[in-house]
Structures are given as structure tokens and as C-alpha cells.
Amino acid sequence: MSGSMRLSQRVNQIKESATLAVTARAAEMRKSGIDVLGFGAGEPDFDTPAHIIAACKQALDAGHTRYAKPTHGIPEARAAVCEKLRRDNGLNYKPDQVIITVGAKEALFLAFAALIDPGDEVILPAPYWVSFPEQVSFCGGRVVTILGDEAGGLRISPRQLADAITTRTRVVLFNSPSNPGGFAYSPEETRALAAVLSGKDLIVFSDEMYDCLRFGDRREHLSFAAISDEWYAKTITFNAASKSHAMTGWRVGYAAGPQEIINAMARIQSHTTSGTATFIHHALVEALVGDQSHVETMRQEFERRGRRMYERLCAMQGVTCVRPDGAFYCFPNVSGAFARLGVTNSGEFCKKVLEQAHVALVPGDAFGMDTHVRLSFATDPKTIEEGLDRLEKLLGRR
């Protein structure tokens, strides 16, 4: 573009979300009459629990349709976040250390905007969530990627983390359980990573969206901020009701951390979104402090689905896979099947699978690993079985 239609440099360097792009392409194919099975979206197939919906209706009937006061979260919602973090994470925050946001994605963006200056470095373990590098770049930061070792379950080591730190390091991203990797760090592994960061002038962004969705021998979750007083003072914890309470479309998330940073995030929010809808704040209260039985019901079902998907993927030619410890993703290495399909990267692989098997996957290059693809098992068992049947027919069995 030229002249008045020229776009900014910052927006020109931002890529479209690969996960949303795959979901949109699959929807287009379905509209044209093609039976596409989608493993792209990280969205529970469960309905939002009835008691949460009822709380939202009650808030609407009570007239809670004006601006939230304050914008960054009504007192009841921020108190509910404090209760959730105390109950599930062993973290004691005050409401003025909490911000309610338009999904956790906004919380992360606000935090980057509040802390990153041009040239600051953000350490980002790969595989990583698609929006992390884009948000860092938008705020002028520089991404320093650490590649997870497949032999170690895609987790990074303390030595790798120590080697990545420089005088420009401003933020370290920590995501457990991982989107897209499906792996989780044990409490011991989390403490070991914290040990190499101790004494450094940096902030940890701890993305704990899937803290309630952990499986097998990785059930125990340790929040980064709960490790010690040092990390309580230097960590921002991000979460939402999206995954654990099947509320993706409600667009409500939250962050908790040092009050000075939370206040800075709130200032930016006041000039951008003005926060999420007030009646949804009331739904969040019910989600976090009301009946929690649905969380365990979903966790158990996701664990069953994940085990089944993992077993079937491992039986396919050219595919290896790390067993999912949490969240609802498998992240297999499919590079051994590239030659069979006549492709050279994950994007071409996913295109070929979509065209020939009518199965929608997300290419791993969007997550920092071009040898892998992501499959979500947050869909019904019938779709999982049929989709894997199609993929197996295309790739063959071992």
C-alpha cells in the first residue's frame, strides 16, 4: 500500500492466528458440502454449566448492563479470582492485585504492553502458543526461543534457560500445562527452572490456563508464583474460565501479580477495550466460587480422549508423539511422514491432510516447531475416532 492507505510496520509484521485460520478454512469447506473433521480449535465441546448461565441471566435481569466499575473488574469478580487462586494454587492475593480482562489473551497483551520496551528480550520456550511471539513483536520486544527436547517430553532444561538469559532479558514465559505441547512440568522441574532465574532482574509470565486439566502422574500443579516470596513478587499469573469451565465464547480472563504492574495494565485497558461486559463478571464469580464438579468431569473425559488419541497416533507410520500430561492437545512429530506425502514442512503436510483426508490440523510452524502438528482432543470421541481413521488411512500403520 502507499499514501494514506499505508499500514503501520507493527501491524505488517503480525501474522494471522494459525489456529483460527484453520478453523475458518474448515468451516468454509463444510459450507461447500465437504465433510471436514476438525482438530484445530482449542475449545471444549462441553456446554457452559447451567449454574453459570443462570448467574449471567440473573445479572442481566438485575440491570448489570452498564460499564463495569471499576473497568478492570467489579469487586466481586476480583474477590472470586482471589478465592480461586487461594483454593487451587496456594496463592494469596488481594483484589487490587487482580485484573479482569477480555479473555486471558487480552491480559497477556496488556502485560507485554506495560513491561516491554523496544529491544527488550522475552525468553519463549518452544513449542509455544501462537500469540506469544506476535504480541511480543507488536510491543517492540525481541523473542529468544528455546527449543524443547522431544526426548525430554518437549520440556526445556534449567541449563537451556540459564544459557538464554542476557542483560536484555525482561520477561520469561512459562506455560504449564502447555498449549500446544500437552506436556506439564512437575513441581520439582518448575522449582529447578526458577532456581536458575533467582536473583535476576526479570518478570515471569506464568500462563496457567490449563492448571485444572492435568493427567496421570502429572496431576500436581505448582504455580510459579507459589515457589517462594521472590517469585510471588516477580510473577504475573494468567488464567481464565475458558477451558476449565467451557466458557471460551464468554471472553473473560484474569491476571494476578504485583499491584504496580496490574495498575499499569488497567490504565492501558481503560483506553482500549474498557474491559469485558459487566454481566459476564457476575458469571465469572459463579464459575470460580460456585459448584466445581464439572471441572473434574471434563478433566477425566479429556484424559480418556487424550490417551486414546496418543495411542492411535503412535501407531501411524512416520509419527512419534509425546504423551499428553494436561490441557487437551497432542503435538506429534510428523516429519517422518513428509516424504510419503511429498511435502517438506508442517504447513504443506496439513494442507495435504485437509485436501485428501478432510481432516483439519494446525501446522507446527505456528508454534515454533515445523516438524510437528497440533491436534485438539476437545471434541467428541466419535469425531476423534473417525478423524484418526482418515489420518491412519492416509499415512498407514506401522
What are 191-233's pLDDT values in tens digits? Answer: 999 999 999 999 999 999 999 999 999 999 999 999 999 999 9
pLDDT at residue 85 greater than cutoff 80:
yes
> Whole-model pTM?
0.94
Average pLDDT on 10-35 reads 79
Give pLDDT tens digits for 229-281.
Answer: 999 999 999 999 999 999 999 999 999 999 999 999 999 999 999 999 999 99
Return d(Cα 255, Cα 236) in angstroms, integer.
7
Compute how many other C-beta atoms are within 10 angstroms of the C-beta atom of residue 344: 12
Return d(Cα 285, Cα 281) in angstroms, integer.
6
Q: Which residue has the higher pLDDT, 70 or 10?
A: 70
Identify the CATH number of the domain defined by range 3-47+294-395: 3.90.1150.10
Return d(Cα 265, Cα 253) in angstroms, integer.
13
Q: Where are the domains of the chain?
A: 3-47+294-395, 59-289
pLDDT at residue 3, rounded to an integer: 64
pLDDT at residue 55 greater than cutoff 90:
yes
Place of cell 464438579: 293
8 Å CB contact between 245 and 295 = yes
- The values of phi and psi at residue 19, to 5°, are -65, -45
pLDDT at residue 304, rounded to an integer: 97
Q: Which long-range contacts (CB under 8 A, 24 or more apart) does 153-159 make?
A: 153/183, 153/322, 153/323, 153/325, 154/127, 154/178, 154/181, 154/183, 154/322, 154/331, 155/183, 155/185, 155/189, 156/125, 156/193, 158/192, 158/193, 158/195, 158/196, 159/196
pLDDT at residue 268, rounded to an integer: 97
Name the pLDDT band for 339 (thresholds 50, 70, 90): very high
pLDDT at residue 22 greater than cutoff 90:
no
β-sheet bridge partners, residue 173: 205
Identify the CATH number of the domain defined by range 59-289: 3.40.640.10
Q: Which amino acid is at 70?
A: P
Average pLDDT on 130-145 reads 95
Q: Which amino acid is at 142?
A: R
* Grid cell of 212 as nine digits: 485444572
pLDDT at residue 378 greater than cutoff 90:
yes
- The values of phi and psi at residue 140, to 5°, are 90, 5
pLDDT at residue 342 greater than cutoff 70:
yes
Return d(Cα 223, Cα 175) in angstroms, integer.
10
